[in-house]
Amino acid sequence: MNLGLEDKVVVITGAAKGMGPAIAAAFADQKSRIVIAGRDMAAIEDLAGRLRAGGSEVLTVACDVTKDSDTFAMAEQATRRFGRIDVLANVAGGTGPVGATSWATSQVEFDQIVELNLTGCFNTMRAVLPGMIERRYGKIVNVGGTFGMRGRAGRMAYSASKWGLRGVTKSAALEAGPFNVNVNCVAPGMVDGPRFRTKVIPDIMRKKGLTEDEAVESLASEYALRRISTDIDVANGCLFLASDVSRQITGIDLPIDGGWAML
């Protein structure tokens, strides 16, 4: 199926780490023009080099999404280079404390993850929405999480940030809808990768006395499909919501979790 993303200008935050490279590569495969925004410029330039080697047109921008001055400067640079922004994929985010109860989570830890996962998306949306509204076209895809749809012990701060992002997404969808701008969330469950293997799995191993393979299997058993999601699964969800194939869908949370949050 042709998703119609060729030559679309796609801004991706947090593209250099975690699920980001797979999401950026997915848009590159669709022949989109890509803006990679983030803080780790060494990692960003490495990713950009690989995408350019495949024929993609890529702009890299240093941007701390928790600073609104950075996000507005990023939107200005992207618009100056490409003339517009068609898609914003808010991938930048973090895990926050893993395994800590709410009473063992410090205010600093709580504030840091909420600022990154929630305020960061708010800032980038504020930066790109005026241009989308003026042109009467735009797609915003926020990367939420299934812990923003169901609670999870030991992940209170992260869960709070993702629940908040759902509210931001739904309100923005109502506000921007009359201007032909879609605002949605993809909500990954557990996604295999470095963070999963170095933070989540060790916590389960410690608590349950399991090996790494047993800990992964323990988590997979909670899902209807009995498997952990991959970054490609999440990337495909982002492509769908960024395309006009989903033109009549806005304000939703799309769980990509093998069957957990909604079952």
The closest alpha carbon to 16, from 8, 26, 7, 24, belongs to 24
CB atoms under 10 Å from CB of 83, counted, come to 11
CB atoms under 10 Å from CB of 211, counted, come to 10
Q: Is 208 exposed, middle or buried (0-12, 13-18, 19+ CB in 10 A)?
A: exposed
Tokens of 191: 């996604």
CA distances (Å), 252 to each of 136, 143, 147, 149, 165, in order? 20, 12, 15, 12, 12
Please tell me which residue in 122, 158, 223, 260 is annotated as part of the active site: 158
d(CA 118, CA 65): 10
Residue 158 annotated to the active site: yes
User: Active-site residues: which are they?
Assistant: 158
